[in-house]
Amino acid sequence: MSVEKGYALDWIARNRDKIVEISDKVWEHAELGLIEFKSSALLADELKKQGFKVERGIADMPTAFLATWGAGKPVIGIMGEYDALPGLSQKKVPSNKTLQPGAPGHGCGHNIHGTSGMAAAIAVRIAMEKHKIKGTIRFFGCPAEENFSGKVYMVREGYFSDVDAVISHHPSTMNAADLRSSLAVNSIKFHFYGKASHAGASPEQGRSALDAVELMNTGVNYLREHVIQDARIHYVIEKGGDQPNIVPPYARSWYYVRAPERDQLEFIYNWILEIAKGAAIMTRTKVRTEFLEGSYNVIPNKAISELIVKNMREIGLPEYSDEDLKFAKEIAKTITLEMKIAQLKKSKRPGWEKLVDKLMDDEIPDPWGEGEVSHGSTDVADVSWQTPTVEFTTATWVLGTPGHSWQNVAQSAVGLGHNSLIFSAKVMAATSLDFLMNEEILNEAKKEHRQRVGNKKYRSPIPPENRPPLDIWEK
């Protein structure tokens, strides 16, 4: 390991307690997307203390920020997220015990996500200053990944236009920098407007908005037979009326539509729009479409993934204490063997069978999944269309842990999560310094990126007139 990288990693090790403290505070704040005011300020303030120039409220989002240190090329970006998920409040115990009923919780480990990136950026800055390394390090504070694709607004405003490479980390059950893509997604709400009347005395005078919502859902469910296998369509009915004896004058559904490529997504999405219009015609109601968010599919980068794996192996996996392992074993009791096998098999990781009897992932496999599609979606994808980008994962949770669960929340604020936090910060710092100090590595990643994108053109999936839905939680 180079002296420069060693210096950065030593800083992270010496400041472990402080880094863990910040991550746990973000966990405690557990704020929803676009209103992560305390979490965003905590990370931004720490970066400012460490000498970064901090620009807050970027891309029309009060909780988005950009922290910069250095000048000139190359420009290396590190991303961090800090939004929580609704209704997942959970105590730091290995059983399902709510901390605050109905409150959000970090069911995707974004308390670690944001803090690991912050720590890595600071460590890189410390090494750059000490060893007179040229270039710029930027930390992107990215809100609302879970629900409103904050990075897509940042991309639209040009914040990644001059960045040479971007690295991001996400908590997971595995140590991996795989080569899978993701599903492009649109998130839309359908507002139906009818006419109220007494459902018993004069139903013929009413026009039911709820009927329109249900007919639309029925139409979409029949559509499922005629979409590509990797497409995903899911919805909830947010508003269906007030009480049974009133014909509902207003009803609302919320849809996610996903597909491997934007053109495939647009085909399905436009069909669904026609189904919504048809439902309105059948019920003599009116429909209004509210486009909330959209994102592309991930462009993987083998050169960066291989570099990340190399640094993972060089740094070495963290060791777990007896207390950590005791907690992990209790969590594992809440996950059936069938669930664990299904999740491991779905990963398509070579040799996944060897992990069935393991508690935590204790390996660092070569990058895998070229040509495969993960069935989740992420706004990291839109960044990956602008510049070489990889979001890798580290083992934070017991193998088989379901995503967006109370188990995720519990493990993200104890020793298991803390180990992942420090390990991932070291990996990001080392990889960033490789880019800053080795032009050949960076050029290889850029060349691959150009080849993968080819002649495809990126067009923001968000309509030009759309601004971030800052009032969404008030509706």
The CATH number for 371's domain is: 3.40.630.10
Give Cα 223 to chain centroid, integer Å.
28
Residues 11 and 156 in one domain: yes
Mean pLDDT, consecutive 10-residue stretches, the chain (475 aa), reads: 95 98 98 97 98 98 98 98 97 96 96 98 98 98 93 97 97 97 96 97 97 98 96 97 97 97 97 98 98 95 98 97 98 97 95 96 97 92 98 98 96 98 98 97 98 96 90 69
User: Per DSSP, what are the bridge partners of residue 257?
Assistant: 186, 233
Residues 335 and 400 in one domain: yes
- Look-up of token digits 């010496």: 14
Q: Tell me what pLDDT residue 217 has.
A: 98
Q: What is the pLDDT of residue 470?
A: 87
Q: Which residues lie across from 392 on neighbouring strands? A: 169
| Segments of 156-314 assigned E as strands | 165-172, 184-193, 232-239, 250-259, 286-295
pLDDT, position 474: 66
The model's pLDDT over 257-292, given as tens digits with 9 standing for 90+, comes to 999 999 999 999 999 999 999 999 999 999 999 999
User: 289 and 412, same structural domain?
Assistant: no
In this structure, the answer to whether residues 129 and 208 fall within a common structural domain is no
Q: Of 79, 66, 75, nearest to 157 (Cα)?
A: 66
Q: Are residues 245 and 353 in the same domain?
A: no
| Nearest in space to 85 (alpha carbons), one of 118, 110, 116 | 110
Do both 337 and 348 map to the same domain? yes
Q: Are residues 178 and 96 in the same domain?
A: yes
**The pLDDT of residue 473:** 66
312 located within any domain: yes
Beta bridge partners of 256: 187, 234
Positive or negative CA dihedral for 107, 112, 118, 121?
Answer: negative
**Rounded distance between C-alpha atoms, residue 425 and residue 112, angstroms:** 10
The H or E element that residue 177 is part of is none
Same domain, 382 and 394: yes
Residue 471 lies in a domain: no
| Claim to verify: residue 9 and residue 127 sit in the same structural domain | yes
Are 267 and 388 part of one and the same domain?
no
Note whether residue 244 is domain-resident.
Answer: yes
**Distances in Å between the alpha carbon of 185 and those of 22, 233, 265?**
32, 10, 7
Tell whether 26 and 133 lie within a shared domain: yes
Total count of domains within the chain: 2
Q: Tell me if 273 is assigned to some domain.
A: yes
Check whether residue 242 and residue 118 sit in a common domain: no
276 and 286 Cβ atoms separated by less than 8 Å: no
In a domain, 466, yes or no: no
Domain end, chosen from 295, 316, 346, is at 295
The pLDDT of residue 407: 98
202/224 Cα distance (integer angstroms):
36
CATH code: domain of residue 224: 3.30.70.360
pLDDT score for 475: 57
The CA distance from 66 to 355, in Å, is 39
Range of the domain at 226: 184-295
User: Does residue 468 form part of some domain?
Assistant: no
